[in-house]
Amino acid sequence: MTEPADTLRIAIAQLNPTVGDVSGNLAIARRTRESAGASGADLVVFPELFIAGYPAEDLVLKPAFLAACREAVEALAAETVSGAAVLIGAPWVEGGLLYNSVLLLEGGKVSAVRHKVDLPNYGVFDEKRVFAAGPMPGPIPFRGVRLGVPVCEDIWGADVVECLAETGAEILIVPNGSPYRRSVYAERENITVARVVESKLPLLYVNQVGGQDELVFDGASFVLNADRFPALQFPSFVERVRVTRWRRFEDGWRCVGGNLVEPLQGDAADYAACVLGLRDYVNKNGFPGVVLGLSGGIDSALCAAMAVDALGPERVRCLMLPYRFTSEDSLKDAAAVAEALGVGYEVVPIAPAVEGLEAVLTPLFEGTTRDVTEENLQARVRGTLLMSVSNKFGAMVVTTGNKSEMSTGYATLYGDMNGGFNPIKDLYKTEVVRLARLRNSWKPADALGPDGVVIPERVIEKPPSAELREDQTDEAALAPYGVLDTVLARLVEGESPVDEIVADGFDAALVTRIARLLAGAEYKRRQAAPGVKVTGRNFGRDRRYPITNRFRED
């Protein structure tokens, strides 16, 4: 019988796997185990489903993928005859059922398996569709210590941790694939403190970091001792591996001597999430860089800054695509942004293409008056030119529409909506303004862009305009953005009834019009590029409305 240990060294591996890259994720795990073992780690803990990458969605339904994951786990297990053991996540088939599992690799074999019990099936999560729920777990014996291993959602309710505590767990180790959203730190704190108080056990929370399509995982791993006080806090949005020291005292186990790093909060966290999401989307999909239209407006300026911070100026190419409605100020402002960021910048007038299309369409449009159709030709020419540059040189087109535009349909299909990824898709216009101001005074620690002002104040201050006709402004077409965004947030994130919003003092006709625009633009949103999720409810995995839908609140 193994004698109880008095000390333990557990390495927390806050790392960035890639979905589907089984061999690459295995290589990361091997390197991490080797380096952590050299630093004295007894056990290295990886995030949820690390071998597969998270979320792997329907990829886990492919038998070949499951076989590759199992082979990788068994290969890593064979290397644990001596040295550090490994606690790692993978999809695992047992008894004909597929589980989201955590496996202890020790002594050259898979020595223990635990399956996730509570499968999230809300918001961005859809795990019940692909995984079976595991049975209530007991603790895992490890070198004289009983480890409770609830997986991510298993700690959001009390039952799994209660079961582990009642069956003798001494330390809770929680592998996570928990994506970023603005309220997530407070939510995690409330949940983990509650589990610690109920169980009277210390809790180690390891979260993955990195971008996966529209999700960004922020890391921010931590340890709470049984007295609820933090013993360690990792930074957010960056990879970290650290060996934590644990000692057994008369009243139980404690993590001792950890560092506390305050995670990014508020607008800084949103900005860092957008940068990381764009970086990983570009790099993990193998693009050499990005190209975007730089209009002289704040949206494209912020996207350009994020792209440079994510990839470096040498991988960002900006095109100014002016037509006769493009102002001199816009030309100057776009050039100023490009110069401040140090990116490649070219001016390509689009008049020949626009007027050529108008000439071709003249016989078909005979007897009609000019309207938004002709305006949209400009946007579609720009979109076609950007996609052509992308096709020729391989750079991905960055789409630059904000959430206010995505909500109301104030964007042109096959025009300014063209592109592969949109870093500001989940930011309302008023939030874009805030982040632009923030970037002029701060940038993430790992940003590759320059310090200082990169978006001139006059770009931030000038009235937003699509510049598709004379004297056009966004707010004249929609509403003042302060009002528009407040109403949209209540409709989208809050699902507030129109009558309730009106009762709070908003103009009834305006709220009804905004609600109609929101409902009528669903078909556009279905065709929009993916983009980083930062709010509690983004357009995409969070919000799934039917396109064909006659319900209206009037």
Catalytic residues: 48, 116, 152
Asked if 89 and 101 touch (Cβ cutoff 8 Å), the reply is: yes
Token pair of 114 as six digits: 């635990």
Non-local CB neighbours of 486 within 8 Å, separated by 6+ positions: 506
- At 446, the amino acid letter reads D
CA 261 to chain centre: 21
Beta strands in 135-281 (DSSP E): 140-142, 145-148, 171-176, 203-207, 209-212, 215-218, 222-224, 230-233, 240-249, 252-256
Can you tell me the distance from the alpha carbon of 547 to that of 532, in angstroms, rounded to the nearest whole number? 22
* Cβ-proximal residues to 261 (8 Å cutoff; 6+ apart), any chain: 233, 234, 235
Convert 477-489 into a string of H (helix), E (strand) and C (coil).
HCCCHHHHHHHHH
Coil vs helix vs strand at 225: coil
Nearest one of 437, 374, 444, 423 to 532, comparing CA atoms: 423
- ω into 530 cis (within 30 of 0): no
Question: Is the CB of residue 234 less than 8 Å from the CB of residue 221?
Answer: yes
CB neighbour list of residue 50: distance below 8 Å, 6 or more residues apart: 15, 17, 25, 29, 88, 89, 90, 175, 208
Q: What residue type is assigned to position 287 of the chain?
A: F
Alpha-carbon span 508 to 529, nearest angstrom: 32
Close Cβ partners of 532 (under 8 Å, ≥ 6 residues apart): 211, 214, 216, 273, 274, 277, 278, 422, 423, 424, 425, 426
Measured between alpha carbons, how far is 420 from 303 in angstroms, rounded to an integer? 13
Rounded distance between C-alpha atoms, residue 448 and residue 393, angstroms? 22
Which helix (DSSP H) or strand (DSSP E) does residue 168 occupy? none
Question: What 3 state SS string does 416-460 have?
Answer: CCCCCEECCCCCCHHHHHHHHHHHCCCCCCCCCCCCCCCCCHHHH
- For 26, the 3-state DSSP assignment is helix
Which string of DSSP letters, residue by residue, matches 305-374?
HHHHHHH-GGGEEEEE---TT--HHHHHHHHHHHHHHT-EEEE---HHHHHHHHHHHTTTTTT----HHH
Q: What is the dihedral sign for C-alpha 188, 194, 197, 199?
A: negative
Pairwise CA distance, residues 188 & 78, whole Å: 35
Q: Taking a C-beta distance cutoff of 8 angstroms, is the pair 177, 88 a contact?
A: no
Q: Could you tell me if 432 and 299 are in contact, meaning their C-beta atoms sit under 8 angstroms apart?
A: yes
